[in-house]
C-alpha cells in the first residue's frame, strides 16, 4: 500500500506544468468567444519604472561643439558603443551608478538627484543643468541593461544581465534554462526592490492572467525564486516510474538482507 501511495504522490498532474492556461475560462464555466478575444487583446500591465539606488545608468550627451563633448561624456561616451561591443559589464565600469543618496555625479554638473524619477524625468533634469554649458545638445539616458537573479528549481541559476529595454518573466527564465521538472510553477516568488525596502510577491506561471500582472515584466535587481514541488521535499522520484524504481530497489535490498540473515543463522 505504501508503495502505491508513494507512486501516486509523485505523479504530478499535467496542469501543474503547462504555462499560461486559461484558468479564468475554466472557473467561469467557459467564456464566450468575444469575451475571450477581448481578454487576449488587453495591453500588458507595465508600470513605469522609477530609478532606484544602485541602478546603473548610461548617460551620453551629443552637441555641435565637438571640443566639449569628450570632456563631458568621458564614461558616457564609452556607453554609446556598449551594445555593439556585446560586453554587458562595461556598464559597471563606465556607467553612472546611483549612490545611496539617490544621486549620480556627472562631469561639470556635479551631483544630480535622480532616484524615483523615470528616465524621461531624469533626462529633463540633466538637460536643464546643461543649459549653462551648451546651446545645442541632445541627451541620451538608458538603463545599463536589466540585471536580475534566478535561484531555486532552475536549470541554470545565477545572476544575469540582459541588454534590452524590457524583459518579461518568461524571457528571464528562458535565459536561465527554464524551470526544472520539480519546480512549483504555481508559486514563483519575486523579490522586488523599493526605496522603503524589498518586497516579496508570488505569481502563478500556469495562469495566463500573469500577462496583465505588474510582475510580468522583470525590473532591474529583481530576484526570482522558484520553489520545489512537495515531492522534492519528500525525496520521492521525479516521476511515478522513477519512484517505483527507487522503491523497488529498496525492497530488493531489504529482501536480500533478510534472505542473507536467514541463510547464515
pLDDT, one tens digit per residue, over 33-87 is 444 444 444 555 567 899 999 999 989 888 776 666 655 554 444 333 333 333 4
Global pTM value = 0.71
117 and 166 belong to one structural domain: no
- Select from 119, 143, 167 the last residue of a domain: 143
Final residue in a domain of this structure, among 143, 168, 191: 143
Is residue 73 included in any domain, yes or no? yes
Stretch among 25-34, 52-61, 163-172, 223-232 having the lowest mean pLDDT: 25-34
192 shares its domain with 223? yes
- Domain total for the chain? 2
> SS in 3 state form for the chain?
CHHHHHHHHCCCCHHHCCCCECHHHHHCCCCCHHHHHHHHCCCCCCCCCCCCCCCEEEEEEEECCCCCHHHHHCHHHHHCCHHHHCCCCHHHHHCEECCCCCEEEECCCEEEECCCCCHHHHHHHHHHHHCCCCCCEEEEEEECCEEEEEEECECCCEEEEECCCCCEHHHHHHHCCCECCCEEEEEEEEEECCCCCCEEEEECCCEHHHHHCCCCECCCCEEEEEEECHHHHCCCCCCHHHHHHHHHHHHHHHHHHHHHHHHCC
Amino acid at each position: 500500500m505504501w508503495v502505491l501511495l508513494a507512486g501516486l504522490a509523485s505523479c504530478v498532474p499535467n496542469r501543474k506544468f503547462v504555462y499560461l492556461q486559461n484558468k479564468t475560462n475554466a472557473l467561469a464555466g467557459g467564456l464566450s468567444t468575444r469575451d475571450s478575444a477581448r481578454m487576449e487583446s488587453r495591453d500588458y500591465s507595465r508600470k513605469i519604472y522609477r530609478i532606484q539606488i544602485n541602478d546603473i545608468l548610461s548617460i551620453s550627451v551629443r552637441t555641435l561643439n565637438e571640443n566639449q563633448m569628450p570632456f563631458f561624456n568621458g564614461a558616457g561616451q564609452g556607453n554609446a558603443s556598449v551594445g555593439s561591443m556585446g560586453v554587458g559589464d562595461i556598464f559597471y565600469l563606465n556607467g553612472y551608478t546611483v549612490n545611496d543618496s539617490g544621486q549620480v555625479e556627472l562631469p561639470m554638473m556635479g551631483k544630480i538627484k535622480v532616484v524615483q524619477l523615470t528616465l524621461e524625468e531624469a533626462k529633463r533634469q540633466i538637460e536643464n543643468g546643461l543649459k549653462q554649458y551648451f546651446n545645442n545638445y541632445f541627451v541620451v539616458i538608458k538603463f545599463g541593461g536589466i540585471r536580475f537573479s534566478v535561484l531555486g528549481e532552475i536549470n541554470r541559476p545565477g545572476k544575469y544581465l540582459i541588454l534590452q529595454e524590457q524583459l518579461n518573466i518568461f524571457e528571464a527564465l528562458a535565459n536561465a534554462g527554464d524551470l526544472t521538472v520539480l519546480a512549483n510553477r504555481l508559486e514563483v516568488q519575486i523579490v522586488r526592490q523599493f526605496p522603503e525596502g524589498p518586497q516579496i510577491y508570488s505569481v502563478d506561471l500556469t495562469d495566463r492572467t500573469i500577462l496583465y500582472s505588474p510582475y510580468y515584466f522583470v525590473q532591474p535587481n529583481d530576484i526570482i525564486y522558484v520553489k520545489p514541488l512537495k515531492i522534492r521535499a519528500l525525496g520521492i522520484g521525479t516521476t511515478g516510474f522513477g519512484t517505483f524504481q527507487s522503491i523497488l530497489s529498496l525492497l530488493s535490498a531489504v529482501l536480500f538482507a533478510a534472505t542473507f540473515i536467514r541463510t547464515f543463522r
